[in-house]
């Protein structure tokens, strides 16, 4: 959204001093990018003002202090005598301590300015807004970042072993959610049509989703899920990262969920594109990062679907380029919103939740994470046996964007930034072909599958196993059968996902 439009909306949304106000960051914050924004009305998130708003930001790590403060006042100013102060540590604010940074109404702080470069060696800082007017509210936004090295390095931290057993709700989940091995970025839209109630429902969905997961922060394991958290905001870049990317555990995520809303729509398309680019960085050094072979997904939780959000092909191509899947979980969307979000032919998965309990979470975990066919899964859409462009040869492949060899001498191409489409975990798909002239078949298979875990098996018309493939084969494996009908079955387990297979069948 451009500045002009934002200003127009603000003129309508700004309320008087009698509204029930809540700080933008209602509780204290732990994470590496502390958000700063105006107070809001809890019922509709419009901007307002009450008593002094302050909160404590903790970097989450005693070796990290704070710097990189940026700040903007949105025009027109309320002329309310607004002052934003940042303090080292957690001083007694009633005693009027000396602030580390102070900005008066109208003063913006941009990159590389003096106030932007101020550093705090304290892992905890306090951010406070006050104003003299009791009738008009200012609108402002900014952030400050935690960085390592501003504090002496702490001694080694002891690690506790992950519990080997984790109970889960067998009644609702098809399998134990501990088996999910994705890299999952959770994104919460802070702008809702249902105020704080709807935001709490979104947070409830996230909590019930992440609680049964087994989470890791190790970047070269094939097990467990890695988590990151972001929220959508009204201004460029339209998102805020709410913790260390891929460095968060379940508790970090639930503690850093946004506790407050915003009053202005952001730009969902731009936010998602930016987040994919920022968080799904491919390490081309394959020896150190095997997370390359795990499924990747963004779960966007939103209680509104603005008509400006398109999730068009431009957005799709950014996701495709990093092999990232998208799921949009709406909460109590209107018929009109749902119609636009769930349009046919879409490339992402959707759900309109009406609650936030485990059964509501299972409604998207079962079809999309466990691929149990309880609802169509666009992350690995059904494929079929297709006619090749030449001769009477037919072929089938997985994934949709298979990028490997199709004839002897070809090699794997990663058209993208070291990462391209993978097949899905928990796959179980069948392909059947019958030679119309009743004779036998010749089959060639190119494949890259998780060795010993993911299989492509071929059966004749009497269901006898003829051939079984796992691992990889670049030069193609060929076999013939006298059976005129052949059925292939592809199964994958819960762990690593690879670049898939390409099969051609030539009728004899
Ligand atoms: C925030 O932290 C301050 C100082 O540590 C503490 O006094 C206050 O109770 C905390 N507030 C919340 C909402 O946790
Ligand atoms: C905070 O400062 C005020 C004013 O100096 C003082 O009255 C109050 O006792 C202090 N509170 C604490 C917890 O020290
Ligand atoms: C989660 O990580 C935080 C640090 O980010 C740590 O303090 C906390 O103990 C961890 N919680 C669990 C349950 O492992
Ligand atoms: C994301 O990355 C792609 C490819 O590197 C680039 O073309 C695109 O402009 C980026 N988009 C955003 C929103 O950063
Ligand atoms: C993986 O973690 C190690 C150590 O924590 C770090 O040095 C490395 O840069 C990380 N790799 C990636 C791709 O994030
Ligand atoms: C395959 O990837 C290309 C390149 O990003 C993209 O344009 C195309 O839509 C993708 N196809 C499918 C079916 O996802
Ligand atoms: C859903 O939204 C409607 C307004 O569109 C509201 O009246 C209703 O109370 C909401 N229901 C729930 C369960 O949030
Ligand atoms: C494939 O070719 C066969 C005959 O060669 C034809 O009957 C069939 O309709 C074709 N299938 C598709 C999907 O084009």
| Strand boundaries in 294-402, DSSP class E | 296-302, 324-331, 349-353, 386-387, 394-398
Name every residue whose Cβ is closer than 8 Å to that of residue 389 and which is 6 or more positions away in sequence: none
State yes or no: pLDDT of 2 exceeds 70.
Answer: no
**Cis, peptide link before residue 218, omega less than 30° from 0:** no
Name every residue whose Cβ is closer than 8 Å to that of residue 191 and which is 6 or more positions away in sequence: 45, 232, 234, 261, 262, 263, 264, 265, 266, 304
| Residue 332: predicted pLDDT | 96
Query: Which ligand is closest to the CA of 124, given by its number?
Result: 1
Highest mean pLDDT among 5-9, 85-89, 112-116: 85-89
Residues 487 and 152: their CA atoms lie apart, in Å, by: 63
When pLDDT is cut at 50, 70 and 90, the band that residue 300 belongs to is very high
| Residue 100: predicted pLDDT | 86
| Residue 30: predicted pLDDT | 85
Question: Is the shortest distance between the CB of 203 and ligand 5 below 6 Å?
Answer: no
Each residue of 237-259: pLDDT tens digit?
A: 999 999 889 999 999 999 999 98
CA distances from 27 to 138, 303, 376 (A): 21, 22, 39
Burial class (CB in 10 A: 0-12, 13-18, 19+), 207: middle
When pLDDT is cut at 50, 70 and 90, the band that residue 40 belongs to is confident
Other Cβ atoms closer than 10 A to 32: 21
CA 30 to ligand 3: nearest atom: 5
Give me 95's structure tokens. Answer: 């005693």
| Residue 310: predicted pLDDT | 97
**Residue 223 in contact with residue 322, Cβ under 8 Å?**
no
State yes or no: pLDDT of 153 exceeds 60.
Answer: no
Residues 186 and 426: their CA atoms lie apart, in Å, by: 22
Place of tokens 């609802």: 375
Each residue of 333-382: pLDDT tens digit?
A: 999 999 999 999 999 999 999 999 999 999 999 999 999 999 999 999 98
Name every residue whose Cβ is closer than 8 Å to that of residue 402 and which is 6 or more positions away in sequence: 421, 499, 500, 501, 502
| Residue 9: predicted pLDDT | 35
CA 289 to ligand 5: nearest atom: 13
Angle 231-234-239 (CA atoms, 0-180°, nearest 5)? 30
Each residue of 400-422: pLDDT tens digit?
A: 889 889 988 888 876 544 567 88
The rounded Cα 332 to chain-centroid distance in angstroms is: 21
Place of tokens 């950014």: 318
Give me 137's structure tokens. Answer: 């509210």
Mean pLDDT of 478-489: 93
| Residue 149: predicted pLDDT | 59
Give the three-state DSSP class for 148: strand
When pLDDT is cut at 50, 70 and 90, the band that residue 150 belongs to is low
- What b/e readout covers 329-349, taking b as 16+ CB neighbours within 10 angstroms? bbbbbeeebeeebbeeeebbb
Residues 192 and 206: their CA atoms lie apart, in Å, by: 16
When pLDDT is cut at 50, 70 and 90, the band that residue 164 belongs to is very low
| Residue 155: predicted pLDDT | 31
- Among protein residues, the one with the nearest Cα to ligand 7's atom 12 is 332
Q: Which of 233, 320, 250 is nearest to 34 (CA)?
A: 233
Query: Which ligand is closest to the CA of 22, given by its number?
Result: 1
Name every residue whose Cβ is closer than 8 Å to that of residue 387 and which is 6 or more positions away in sequence: 393, 394
Question: Is the shortest distance between the CB of 388 and ligand 8 below 6 Å?
Answer: no
Question: Is the shortest distance between the CB of 283 and ligand 5 below 6 Å?
Answer: yes
Question: Is the shortest distance between the CB of 387 and ligand 8 below 6 Å?
Answer: yes
Question: Is the shortest distance between the CB of 289 and ligand 5 below 6 Å?
Answer: yes
Name every residue whose Cβ is closer than 8 Å to that of residue 199 and which is 6 or more positions away in sequence: 188, 190, 192, 258, 259, 260, 261, 303
Give me 168's structure tokens. Answer: 């889960």
Q: At what angle do helices 268-279 and 313-321 cross, to 10 degrees?
A: 10
Residue-level length of the chain = 508
The rounded Cα 200 to chain-centroid distance in angstroms is: 19
| Residue 487: predicted pLDDT | 96
Is the pTM higher than 0.85? The answer reads: no
Residues 488 and 456: their CA atoms lie apart, in Å, by: 7
Each residue of 272-293: pLDDT tens digit?
A: 999 999 998 766 665 555 688 8
Query: Ligand 8 center to residue 331 CA distance, Å?
Result: 43
State yes or no: pLDDT of 470 exceeds 60.
Answer: yes
- What b/e readout covers 84-110, taking b as 16+ CB neighbours within 10 angstroms? bbbbbeeeeeeeeeebbbebebeeebe
Pocket mutation for ligand 2, best pick of 87, 95, 98, 126 (most atoms within 8 Å of C-beta): 95
Residues 473 and 447: their CA atoms lie apart, in Å, by: 6
State yes or no: pLDDT of 32 exceeds 90.
Answer: no
When pLDDT is cut at 50, 70 and 90, the band that residue 170 belongs to is confident
Each residue of 95-147: pLDDT tens digit?
A: 888 888 999 999 999 887 878 888 787 889 999 999 998 888 888 888 898 88
Question: Is the shortest distance between the CB of 92 and ligand 2 below 6 Å?
Answer: yes
pLDDT > 90 in the chain, percent: 53
State yes or no: pLDDT of 454 exceeds 70.
Answer: yes
| Residue 60: predicted pLDDT | 85
| Residue 429: predicted pLDDT | 95
When pLDDT is cut at 50, 70 and 90, the band that residue 154 belongs to is very low
DSSP 3-state percent helix, strand, coil across the chain (nearest 5): 15, 30, 55
Give the three-state DSSP class for 62: coil
Pocket mutation for ligand 4, best pick of 266, 277, 280 (most atoms within 8 Å of C-beta): 277
User: Which domains are seen in the chain, by residue range?
Assistant: 27-152 (2.60.120.290), 167-379 (3.40.50.410), 386-507 (2.60.120.290)
Q: How far apart are the first and last CA of the chain?
A: 61
| Residue 318: predicted pLDDT | 93
Give the three-state DSSP class for 6: helix
| Residue 401: predicted pLDDT | 85
Question: Is the shortest distance between the CB of 317 and ligand 6 below 6 Å?
Answer: yes
| Residue 160: predicted pLDDT | 34
Highest mean pLDDT among 4-18, 273-287, 301-315, 375-389: 301-315
Each residue of 207-233: pLDDT tens digit?
A: 999 999 999 998 878 889 999 999 999
Give me 292's structure tokens. Answer: 């390359």
């Amino acid at each position: 959204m451009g500045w002009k439009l934002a200003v127009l909306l603000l003129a309508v949304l700004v309320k008087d001093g009698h509204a029930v106000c809540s700080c933008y960051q209602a509780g204290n914050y732990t994470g590496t990018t502390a958000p700063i924004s105006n107070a809001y009305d809890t019922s509709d998130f419009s901007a307002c003002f009450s008593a002094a708003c302050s909160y404590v930001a903790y970097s989450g790590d005693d070796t990290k202090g704070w710097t990189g403060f940026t700040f903007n006042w949105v025009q027109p100013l309320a002329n309310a005598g607004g002052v934003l102060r940042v303090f080292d540590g957690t001083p007694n604010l009633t005693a009027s301590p000396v602030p580390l940074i102070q900005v008066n109404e109208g003063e913006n702080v941009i990159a590389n300015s003096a106030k932007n470069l101020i550093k705090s060696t304290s892992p905890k800082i306090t951010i406070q807004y006050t104003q003299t007017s009791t009738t008009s509210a200012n609108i402002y936004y900014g952030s400050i970042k935690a960085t390592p090295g501003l504090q002496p390095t702490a001694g080694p931290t002891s690690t506790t072993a992950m519990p080997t057993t984790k109970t889960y709700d067998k009644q609702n989940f098809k399998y134990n959610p501990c088996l999910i091995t994705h890299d999952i970025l959770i994104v919460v839209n802070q702008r809702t049509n249902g105020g704080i109630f709807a935001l709490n429902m979104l947070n409830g969905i996230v909590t019930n989703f992440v609680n049964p997961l087994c989470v890791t922060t190790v970047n070269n394991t094939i097990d467990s899920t890695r988590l990151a958290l972001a929220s959508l905001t009204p201004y460029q870049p339209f998102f805020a990262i709410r913790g260390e990317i891929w460095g968060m555990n379940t508790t970090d995520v639930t503690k850093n969920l946004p506790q407050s809303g915003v009053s202005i729509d952001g730009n969902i398309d731009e936010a998602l594109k930016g987040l994919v680019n920022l968080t799904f960085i491919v390490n081309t050094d394959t020896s150190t990062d095997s997370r390359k072979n795990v499924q990747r997904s963004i779960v966007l939780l939103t209680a509104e679907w603005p008509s400006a959000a398109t999730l068009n092909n431009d957005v799709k191509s950014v996701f495709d380029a990093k092999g990232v899947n998208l799921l949009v979980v709406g909460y109590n969307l209107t018929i009109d919103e749902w119609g636009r979000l769930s349009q046919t032919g879409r490339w992402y998965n959707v759900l309109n939740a009406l609650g936030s309990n485990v059964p509501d979470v299972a409604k998207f975990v079962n079809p999309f994470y466990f691929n149990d066919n309880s609802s169509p899964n666009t992350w690995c859409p059904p494929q079929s046996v297709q006619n090749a462009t030449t001769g009477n040869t037919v072929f089938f492949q997985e994934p949709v964007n298979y990028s490997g060899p199709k004839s002897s001498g070809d090699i794997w191409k990663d058209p993208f930034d070291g990462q391209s489409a993978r097949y899905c975990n928990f796959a179980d798909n069948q392909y059947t072909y019958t030679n119309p002239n009743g004779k036998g078949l010749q089959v060639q298979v190119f494949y890259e599958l998780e060795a010993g875990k993911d299989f492509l098996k071929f059966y004749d018309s009497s269901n006898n196993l003829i051939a079984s493939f796992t691992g990889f084969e670049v030069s193609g494996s060929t076999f013939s059968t006298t059976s005129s009908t052949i059925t292939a079955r592809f199964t994958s387990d819960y762990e690593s996902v690879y670049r898939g297979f390409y099969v051609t069948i030539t009728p004899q």
